[in-house]
Structure 1
Amino acid sequence: MATSAIGIESASPSAPSFTTLRVAEPELTTANSLSASPTALPTPSYRLPGDLRPEHYTLDMKTFLDGENSRFEGRVLIKVKCEKDTSRVVLHSTDLLLNTDKVRVGDKEITGHEFDTQNEFYIIKLKEALKSGSKYVIEIPFEGNLTTSLAGYYRTSYKDKATGDTKWVATTQFVSVDARRAFPCFDEPEMKAVFQVNMIRRKGFTSISNMPLAKSVQLEDDWFRDEYVESVRMSTYLVAFVVSDFAHLESNPGNTTFRVWARQDAIEQARYSLEIGPKILDFYEDYFNVPYPLPKMDMIAVQDFSTGAMENWGLITYEESCMLYEETTSEINDKEEVTVVVAHELAHQWFGNLVTMKWWDDLWLNEGFAVYVQGLGTDHVQPTWNHPDTQAVRSLLKIFSIDSLKSSHPVSNNIQHQSEIRQLFDYISYVKGYLVLRMLNYVLGEETFRQGVSRYLKTHQYGNAVQDDLWASFEERLRDDSARDSSRKEAPRTATVKQIMDSWTLQTGYPVIHVMRNYEAGTAELTQNRFVTDWLGRSSDDRESLWWVPISYTDPSNALLDISTKPRFWMNTSNATLAGLPKKDQWLLLNVNATALYRINYDAENWDLLSTALRTEKNHGEIPTLNRVQIIDDAFNLARAGLLEYSLALNILRYLHHEREYLPWKAAFANLEYLSRMTKRGGGYGPFRIFVRTLLTPVYNALDEPFNPTVAGDTLPQIKHRAQVLDWSCSFGVSDCEEKAVALFKIWQQQTEDPDVVNPIPVELRSVVYCNAVESGGEPAWDFVWRRFLSSNVAAEKSKLLSALGCAREMWLLHRFLDMSLNETTGIRKQDVTYVFKSVATSSSGFYIAKEFLFSRIKDIHSYVSPDFSRVGKYVEGVSYLMSTKNDLEQIKQFVELNSEYLKDAKFAVKEAVENVELNVQWHSRYYSTVIEWFSAHANEELFA
């Protein structure tokens, strides 16, 4: 082949001058002095040595989209500054073919090439050392295959609805360490540089990248070269480019051109994202007082994507269900999901992109902030949704659960190897990170918090930061506030913002505050400990852990007048005293509006006062909604830990017959779900089912037309509440719920009109109806839903249908479903394999099938999810939910031991799963009999007397 369009000599992937760097291969063929012997590197060995710092990349990429033979070839020129003398160049590259004959480092003579497969380093050895303070240009030609790995530069496909033809797309996913799969680079977040990207693509395709297109030049044989404007300074994991035949919609509000891209068949579903995206972007500019620094924003929806979305600067990539919304097919929950994810990714344009964590230890600075800010953005464009409270409750329920495990980890974590980075993209980094920021906002006040954030962004823009930089910005803002207004009244603190917040980000877990009231003296003694579900198995470290806890409280006389979330005082010792409390017959409530991350265990008398207040219809509203959520969740989890009688927790549920709000019921269902799992595989499930039916029947009957999804004037929380009540009612045989759900499905199944066009099932109830119909309908229902899944053009609808397929009772159907999930040709996309597994593993019929599938096919699973081996942890997590016997525990421990090779990159999730099984076994031993006796005694009585 002649000189290619990008100015490098083309070579076949099998040409001897190219050498493959593949982490998965234990031995590699030597070529052109490239040896497999590892080079000694500074500690930690997986980090770049730091003797070279990139300043500018020129990246030329030529994309060949041709089905399974799709590939790319390119050349990268990296301008580097030498920070200290060195006779070698160490950078990242993996799964690439490097033309070592054409590699250049300025005018220096190259004496050899090495690589470190474990750390994915490509090392160029030089005869003469590079000099500190000097600048050099490194040139590396390379080639690679466009695989279906969902990592690096990869390929995906879709079916054209009109022609049935398969269409191909090449797209990127670089976070966290996969830019090196697309081009050789210094692939660490602190190694920021300017990028000049040039894409060479065939006629009929369009390319897009982070920056606006500068010019497009036609080359020979229907090839085009798209040259993009130089980027701002950014990290490698934020570089992005896509080659596709997608359509787009455009908006030009203010100074930013905003475009959304999708398949031609789905482009109309992108209008909602185009509507809210510019509004959220403008809101963030105003809120942070920092302008969005790029002239354009592209958002693109692809069918195969490893995560919900990726915040590449100026080119956000989404899985379709996270960006596309179809009014007549998608639930309002789907609309909420799209809004939240768009708001999250746009928040990253500041948190993560403009200011980036120095190293992945502080991933939470990106993700915790984005979760916090997504709530603001969502509330801005959908103010009637009550999203801030919904987000807070979802987050508190999740973190209270997983952060009470010994296997949890701090928000700011010490990474031991790059294989651990992917594992940190978890609830602790995202959700606990958000919750500590939410707590800080309530402590500081909205204006001080916002100004502190703005100071942080302006101080570190285009650079990198650690969490101490954030605390310093808040501390400086507090000093400014105090200097301006000496009359400010705040709870005295003897610690800095850093000292207070370090106790929340550098320690694992959270505290429980024990409250022991002296009713005659009007005082209360408070003590704090780390809360762990395995209370009897606490370590000495758990007992000695201390937090700076902001204590707020209220009582009946102040509940409606004084619900200030400002702390009355700071508790940073193991015990403290409250004085001036209400008289004997009045309840005390700590942590107003659940603003801080701690549980509360009151003395028995105060628990009784709170329970009585809740059961009194006219009084229960005096307790703020989020505190009703926390009372329910605290009671059940304190009982699970052995700190509270289960009868007290279960009796609290009696008040729910006059509870009309979504969030307290959500907390109740979350805790009933655990009891359901713990009783499902035993005889105790019968009394539990009867109890749940007794609890839900009056609530179900009170619904106005249960299967009418919306009643005039219903808010989003009310719609959600109806859906969760129906979900539980149908599952537990309440009244005619299941009968009505199945009848609706049969109308759809038997109609003469095209079922892919006309669906009589209300969109808000489809998840409930689909699952119940598949569970009771056998193979005909399963096959019908499968056909609808294959033919649906709406990603959110496909997700509901796919999940429902796991509800089947027939073992052979579930076996087939799991086998299909590891076969790309079936129509189940690789991004959905863990979703499929969990839908089977957590169903009544599927647990044993899923466990057998995991235990027998772990090698196949590990190979299929490559290179993101952390996803294997989702499988182990999936089967752990229902494991609760000693035999289960022995089996999972043996499985983990025998398959350590396949589980090593998912060790955080695996440890958590094993600990959960241990706790389930403990629960069975300690509480099963007691709880079942209570259910049996109360199952058929009038609960609400």
Structure 2
Amino acid sequence: MANVDKNNGDASRLPESVKPTHYDLTIKTDLEKLVFTGYAVITLNILEDTSVITFNYKGAKLQRCLLRSDALKKELTEVSQVADAARERIAVHFGHTLPKGSTAKLRVGWEGILTDNLMGYYVSSAQHEGKKRFYTLTHFEPTAARRAFPCWDEPLLKATYSISLISREDTVNLSNMPAIEEHPLTESDGADPETSLGASIKTLASFSANEPHVNEHTGWKVTKFQKSPPISTYIVAFANGHFSHLETSYTSPLSGKTRPLRIYTTPDIISQAQFALDLKAQVLPIYEKLFEVEYPLPKLDTLVAHDFAIGAMENWGLITGRTSAFLYDDRKASLAAKKSVAGILSHEVAHMWFGNIVTMAWWDNVWLKEGFATIMGEVIIMNRVFPEWKSNSSFIAGHLQRALTLDAQRSSHPIEVDCPDEKHINQIFDALSYSKAASMLRMLATFVGEDKFLKGVSIYLRKRLYGSSVTHDLWDGIAEATGLDIPTIMENWVLKIGFPVVTVTEKEDGIHLRQDRFLSSGDVKEDENQILWHIPLGLLTTDSNGASSVDRSLILNKREATIPLDPSRPFKLNAGTASVFRVAYSPERLVKLGDEAARENSAFSTEDRMGLVSDAFELAKSGVSKTSGALGLIDKLRSEKEQLVWSSISDSLSSLRTTWWEQPKDVRDKLNVFVQTIFGPLVDRLGYDHPQGEPSYIRELRDCAVSSTAAAGHPGVIKELQARFRHFQDTGDDSRIPIDLQGIIYCTAVQHGGREEYEAVKRIFKKAITPSVKIASLRALGFSQDPAIIDDALAFILTDVQTQDIMYIFTSLGTNNKARRPFAKYFQDKFDEFSKLFEGNFNLAKLVTAAFQHLTTKEDATQLTEFFKEKDVSKFNLALAQVLDKIHSSAKWVERDAKDVADWLEAWSKENNA
């Protein structure tokens, strides 16, 4: 009987006629020849009568497949293999029908080349005794397991794994589970072809028949790993290399079991790994207590790689990631670097529950793991471990604003989005799946209360242990914990594009509210404005004594509504900036809000003030209000004390300066003077050096103030930063370069220096031994104002920069006004080269965004559209549409408010004698 394909309406899904239940994998890695060979025995449940077995595979030299059926009582040899390269699968035809309800074992061998493309099973390297030494690791998310072994590469199709790795004797083998046996490879290991190892050794040897020395057993070993619980292919992991490690342990608060925790790196960087290891031991028991679910595996390792496509990856039992994700040296790395390592590590540990124990059924629900890992790992857990970092407030400046900026574009997509093929799947790992999903969950947690929210999450996890889930499973858990109709409240936040703006109209005895979709371009069409969200309003009001209170029960679920209150007293919607919407007040009310925000002991919290600044600028960008009103609000906040509010101010002014980059010089100069005037007093008060024991928020405020004034061309700040770099350049003594100011000092040296400073920073980059120094110096190389040096930096990208690090210099070149257009042309000229270099991983879309997002004219959008018209944009079509939307929005903002900004700056300059 022919294959029964229940997924025949979805080209991305495999037929449902069989389901894998167990993989017995053997992988032999040759680090000298940079090749690997493999053998698998895959146990299958036959769900429908079929004579065809179809699985995912994207490799070379797949051997003939054998199938042993329990029902047919014999071993079948394939009749043919039919490859579908476009859908990355192979259909293996056998001459007999496998009956429904039976089981079978598929046996197959293969070989592959260890490339450096950062996906599948790939090779990285490190320097050892002056020479390059290779090691290997896997990165399978979302659909790259098929590049390493034949498999059913879909998250729903969980199976158990027994993995054996054959390698050189002097190397270390790692996988998801602990090693249960390791011994030198001998002839007896291949003596019994009926065993998985014996069959695999025989098969692996057949690939190397013309190279007898490869078949010798001397110098090789076998590492067998414990059988895993059911897991999805994308979190299977293995690695081989000359690794060193640090070790600790933690004791489960639920069972009392003690589990080993290790972090592996190459020997040259192991000294920088202690912080990440200690933090892992600290957060694991917190997660267990919050979720009431014990971490189930016997160990949790981390492997740090020199080459890695993304930040980090949550493979179950073997977290992997790049050096900047997990290495921290408190003597040579900034507080920002420490926060980044902590947030990433905690995020990946959160995935041990969200994604690994409970896995989304398909990639359209990727937010179920990424949104959760973001809010849990980077906010809820960080608040418990490092309360002084104020992670909830930081979330507003980072994730919430990132989400709202992207979601305000017409080309946005729902959190739960259709994923018809691999190209679409790769593109949805964006600010919507991470940041908007996390923002939505933060909104829900604030609305129902964090304790009830976490209780609902625990219910959700315990009901779906080792299984798969969809959105409604989560809503049902939280509904059970709260007694609220969570599915109805949350449905449009997940299934619909965009978010609302709530317009406030004041009346004598209350406020009238109206919700509409918000677009940064300001041109919402009628058919785009049909959605009604259930908006938790979070209404803050004050009494006659000035005491404030917040009503969290109010929800706006209609187009319009009126709420009674006394508008003569301060009030504000979206208290704590906890919900995913913007608020449009009248110009008169915005002035009053600014007065209250600037008042000593204001009723408005840090989070409230951050939201006011962000909303004012984004509403001006869309044409709902004027940019002059937003500038006036900032001018009122000169006495602000909170670092995070200053960070929001800095981000907003940076966005304005970046968009106004081709306006008349007089306007740009006045805008820079405004920035210098706002931030200059902070530099005067805080200086450039941080004393021992100084609070973290003061360190960050200093960094914000110095960076903002330097970017705006403050002569005194630039002179000081140049002097500090010159001292380092002349003496080799870096004591005058504070860790937190390292990046801005390097950037200033290159931006306001010449060839000598540029070459000096290039040498720093090439000799860097910590991720912080490497990233800071690489970013700085993109800031020169000299056309000849800019050309040198562009050429440098493809000759001296690791593939994983290209994004850092791309970002700085894109933000450099002098380099922006040469850089855009360079990327177009080299597009085919970059497209090939980043083939098959996440980052091509990010390069497109970095190269073009700061262009601001309609002509730019037209030229870009024309350039890509004949290109294959299927791997980054979402990012391209978003870039074009951003260019159009920026062009409209400038066209709409150029005179408004010029007039306000002129009046401000006269008033302040600036």
**Alignment TM-score, normalising by the size of structure 2:** 0.92
* Partner of residue 663, structure 1: 644
SS of residue matched to 1:252: strand
SS of residue matched to 1:719: helix
Report the AA paired with residue 217 of structure 1: H
Choose from 890, 898, 914 the match for 2:862: 890
Q: In structure 1, what is the Cα distance between the partners aligned to 2:221 and 2:545? A: 68
User: Pairwise mapping of residues 392-791 of structure 1 onto structure 2 (< 5 A)?
Assistant: 392-479=396-483, 496-519=485-508, 522-535=509-522, 537-557=523-543, 561-564=547-550, 566-567=552-553, 569-579=554-564, 581-584=565-568, 586-615=569-598, 617-618=599-600, 621-683=602-664, 685-697=665-677, 699-703=679-683, 706-711=686-691, 714-751=694-731, 753=732, 758=734, 760-791=736-767
Q: CA deviation at 1:743?
A: 0.4
Q: In structure 1, what is the Cα distance between the partners aligned to 2:431 and 2:380? A: 19
Choose from 328, 332, 340 the match for 2:331: 328
Q: Contact between 2:67 and 2:76, CA under 8 Å: does it hold in 1?
A: no
Q: In structure 1, what is the Cα distance between the partners aligned to 2:900 and 2:820? A: 25
Q: Which runs of 5+ in 2 are unaligned?
A: 186-216, 252-257
Q: In structure 1, what is the Cα distance between the partners aligned to 2:468 and 2:455? A: 19
Choose from 812, 825, 828 the match for 1:839: 812
Q: CA deviation at 1:671?
A: 1.8
Choose from 331, 344, 348 the match for 2:347: 344
Q: In structure 2, what is the Cα distance between the partners aligned to 1:559 and 1:625? A: 21
Q: In structure 1, what is the Cα distance between the partners aligned to 2:678 and 2:459? A: 53
Choose from 93, 97, 119 the match for 1:129: 97
SS of residue matched to 1:98: coil
Q: Contact between 1:41 and 1:49, CA under 8 Å: does it hold in 2?
A: yes
SS of residue matched to 2:477: helix
Report the AA paired with residue 64 of structure 2: T
Q: CA deviation at 1:697?
A: 3.0
Q: CA deviation at 1:647?
A: 2.4
Report the AA paired with residue 543 of structure 1: N
Matched, 1:174 2:132: no
Q: Contact between 2:679 and 2:709, CA under 8 Å: does it hold in 1?
A: no
* Partner of residue 193, structure 2: none
Q: Contact between 2:45 and 2:101, CA under 8 Å: does it hold in 1?
A: yes
Q: CA deviation at 1:924?
A: 2.5
| Partner deviation per Cα, 1:861-918 (whole Å, 9 max, x = no partner) | 10111122x522223212323312232122111112132x1x2210110000011111
Q: 1:139 to 1:861 in 2, by over 3 A?
A: same
Q: CA deviation at 1:735?
A: 4.7
Q: CA deviation at 1:351?
A: 0.2
Choose from 236, 246, 250 the match for 2:247: 250
* Partner of residue 75, structure 1: 39
| Partner deviation per Cα, 1:609-664 (whole Å, 9 max, x = no partner) | 2123234x335x22111111111111122122221133222211112210011122
Q: CA deviation at 1:44?
A: 0.9
User: Pairwise mapping of residues 149-298 of structure 1 onto structure 2 (< 5 A)?
Assistant: 149-160=117-128, 163-219=129-185, 220-254=217-251, 255-298=258-301
SS of residue matched to 1:250: strand
Report the AA paired with residue 844 of structure 2: V
> For structure 1, which segment, 379-388 or 724-733, has the greater mean C-alpha deviation from structure 2 after superposition?
379-388
Q: CA deviation at 1:96?
A: 3.1
Report the AA paired with residue 653 of structure 2: L
| Partner deviation per Cα, 1:795-819 (whole Å, 9 max, x = no partner) | 1210111101111122232223223
Q: 1:713 to 1:247 in 2, by over 3 A?
A: closer
Q: 1:691 to 1:839 in 2, by over 3 A?
A: closer
Q: 1:300 to 1:92 in 2, by over 3 A?
A: same
Q: Contact between 2:245 and 2:270, CA under 8 Å: does it hold in 1?
A: yes
| Partner deviation per Cα, 1:728-773 (whole Å, 9 max, x = no partner) | 111222251000000000000010x4x6xx5531101001100000
Q: Contact between 2:710 and 2:748, CA under 8 Å: does it hold in 1?
A: yes
* Partner of residue 789, structure 2: 813
SS of residue matched to 1:94: coil
Q: In structure 2, what is the Cα distance between the partners aligned to 1:845 and 1:934? A: 26
Q: CA deviation at 1:338?
A: 0.5
Q: In structure 1, what is the Cα distance between the partners aligned to 2:853 and 2:641? A: 30
> For structure 1, which segment, 787-796 or 365-374, has the greater mean C-alpha deviation from structure 2 after superposition?
787-796
Report the AA paired with residue 911 of structure 1: A
Q: Which runs of 5+ in 1 are unaligned?
A: 1-38, 480-492
Matched, 1:917 2:887: yes
SS of residue matched to 1:503: helix
> For structure 1, which segment, 699-708 or 40-49, has the greater mean C-alpha deviation from structure 2 after superposition?
699-708
User: Pairwise mapping of residues 309-324 of structure 1 onto structure 2 (< 5 A)?
Assistant: 309-324=312-327
Choose from 10, 16, 21 the match for 1:50: 16
SS of residue matched to 1:282: helix
| Partner deviation per Cα, 1:235-258 (whole Å, 9 max, x = no partner) | 011010110111101112222100
Q: In structure 1, what is the Cα distance between the partners aligned to 2:745 and 2:356? A: 42
SS of residue matched to 1:435: helix
Q: Contact between 1:53 and 1:81, CA under 8 Å: does it hold in 2?
A: yes
Q: Contact between 1:99 and 1:142, CA under 8 Å: does it hold in 2?
A: yes
Choose from 294, 305, 308 the match for 1:302: 305
Q: Contact between 1:210 and 1:239, CA under 8 Å: does it hold in 2?
A: yes
Q: Contact between 1:691 and 1:940, CA under 8 Å: does it hold in 2?
A: no
SS of residue matched to 1:658: coil
**Alignment TM-score, normalising by the size of structure 1:** 0.89
Q: In structure 2, what is the Cα distance between the partners aligned to 1:838 and 1:819? A: 16
Q: Contact between 1:690 and 1:940, CA under 8 Å: does it hold in 2?
A: no
Report the AA paired with residue 760 of structure 1: R
Q: 1:531 to 1:653 in 2, by over 3 A?
A: same
Q: Contact between 1:195 and 1:232, CA under 8 Å: does it hold in 2?
A: yes
* Partner of residue 19, structure 1: none
Report the AA paired with residue 745 of structure 1: F
Q: In structure 2, what is the Cα distance between the partners aligned to 1:324 and 1:883? A: 35
SS of residue matched to 1:307: coil
Root-mean-square deviation (Å): 1.9
* Partner of residue 205, structure 2: none
Matched, 1:89 2:53: yes
Q: Contact between 2:360 and 2:468, CA under 8 Å: does it hold in 1?
A: yes
* Partner of residue 830, structure 1: 803
* Partner of residue 148, structure 1: 116
> For structure 1, which segment, 221-230 or 108-117, has the greater mean C-alpha deviation from structure 2 after superposition?
108-117
Q: In structure 2, what is the Cα distance between the partners aligned to 1:288 and 1:344? A: 15
Q: CA deviation at 1:327?
A: 1.2
Q: CA deviation at 1:934?
A: 1.9
Q: In structure 2, what is the Cα distance between the partners aligned to 1:77 and 1:109? A: 14
Matched, 1:859 2:863: no
Q: Contact between 1:443 and 1:565, CA under 8 Å: does it hold in 2?
A: no
Report the AA paired with residue 640 of structure 2: E
Q: In structure 1, what is the Cα distance between the partners aligned to 2:551 and 2:300? A: 38
Report the AA paired with residue 596 of structure 1: S
Q: Contact between 1:442 and 1:565, CA under 8 Å: does it hold in 2?
A: no
* Partner of residue 489, structure 1: none
Q: In structure 2, what is the Cα distance between the partners aligned to 1:813 and 1:111? A: 61
Report the AA paired with residue 713 of structure 2: G
Report the AA paired with residue 906 of structure 2: S
Q: 1:101 to 1:886 in 2, by over 3 A?
A: closer
